Homo-oligomer: A and B are copies of this chain.
């Protein structure tokens, strides 16, 4: 196959007229027309990285260097994901490209806010450098909320309005990523408003993230938020859609696809819904796939396949203002997926920029591995830890203490997926009276949680207690701890906690599970403490073992992501712990561990 460099306009016109041969001709394929909804036999000519022509019916006279028989296959545009965090898949961009191209994903707009919390705008720059020239086209929406709650956690960096302005000047940075500080927006917080104003001034896409309703939601949208993926129930999504916000639907781990399809079908003429992935953990990515899986689940649940495909191709392209893709039309990028079945969304061939990159789920095109510079792999900076760091000293002379503990909710009022998901993240404070042994709190049925600032800035160590984590023995340590990604350690005893923490520090990031002083399972993530440079298969295998170890220890888990990863995130209700201490999300303030009336 020829080079995938863009042709001159003159050559493109000549190729489209058939005056020079196409590089590739896909014949007799079932062309899924996203403008009319028809499916009919056609010939698709590709020249360099572009679609040259689409001709209905059989066309024997067309000349091409290479021909593919498309009989029995369905041609659709490459999938476009307009909201995701590569870091959630725990692999670097070039590895991510290897993983998702065979799934039919050819363009993504990522929010690299995890790495930005560790390395600031330099981290964003590294993500750009590490995705340059890949057949998976990676665009960046500049992170807007780093850290998630300024002043209440120590992230590795802050992103200011000036940073956002600078990043928007970089190639492939095309908008503002999810403005998670919705409370700041509606309450006129100057920091976030200055960032929003940068996006408004430059007239770029601004993505949203809000749990709001009524006039507050109106205010958030009025400020310029164009889309939102935080739709746990169709009712929430519908309120946003009615107000002109694009709704981005994540599946299958978070929302009840059947409920959404039923909801969409109940509307006379719905317009403005997109399919996205947001976060796909490596084991899920390996097992279920990526945006292809979201499309598949919606089609399975009864959404018309044309609507589902539009929601993952042309509509995200329009939303992202990427006018050169999202449809199979003359002059557009030759990003193509040939499916064996439209209903099962079975991917046979994937073309990116006119190149065959995958066949039957296997990569057939070499992806350059773009590794990260050394400083990106030295980000876990803590003092030398000891078991003492994982014990909680009681006030002198007490034999019992009353403490504020973080409690995971366990009562479920129904079987709804969204509720289950919300509960997996949601916590509350409760009061417990605990015994003191040798001057330290005995956690009893509870677990101890310690958050250690790991960016080398403050050395903060915050300690707390967790109820309902399920943990029966051992400990877990992780540098994935949204959003500041400090080192979080949850455990039943100081020894295992130290063992797990030391493994993670030694690896410069990752997740480790320890019991009886030994590492049971671990995944090493040295890039910013979040990603590995290894293949998806390797990372997924390790992470599967980590999840298996969680189960062995009894630790609460959720298909979307382990709740532990969100225990330090002070923007999700209601009881959290950052490196600065316990945080009451609803009251928006830090609270002490010990209650005053402790006797």
Contact = CB atoms under 8 A, between A and B. Distances in A.
A331 interface: yes
Interface string A161-200: 0000000000000000000000001101000010011001
A10 B219 contact: no
A470 interface: no
B223 A268 contact: no
Contacts of A267: 36-38
Interface centre among A9, A215, A267, A310 (most CB of B within 10 A): A215
Given A9-B196, A267-B38, A224 B331 contact: yes
B218 A268 contact: no
B35 A218 contact: no
How often does this chain occur in the complex, in copies?
2
Contacts of A271: 34-37, 310
Contacts of A15: 222
A591 interface: no
Interface in A37-87: 37-38, 50-56
A448 interface: no
Nearest to A196: B9
Nearest to A45: B218
A52 B12 CA distance: 46
A385 interface: no
B53 A12 contact: no
Interface residues of A, number: 65
B37 A270 contact: yes
Contacts of A337: none
Given A38-B242, A193-B9, A203-B323, A219 B269 contact: no
A13 B310 contact: no
Nearest to A238: B36
A222 B307 contact: no
Given A17-B216, A36-B269, A244-B332, 17 more contacts: A9-B197, A10-B188, A10-B193, A16-B218, A16-B219, A16-B222, A36-B270, A37-B271, A50-B222, A52-B218, A53-B222, A55-B214, A221-B331, A223-B331, A224-B331, A244-B327, A269-B307
10 contacts: A9-B196, A10-B188, A12-B222, A34-B271, A35-B241, A35-B244, A36-B241, A36-B242, A38-B242, A222-B331
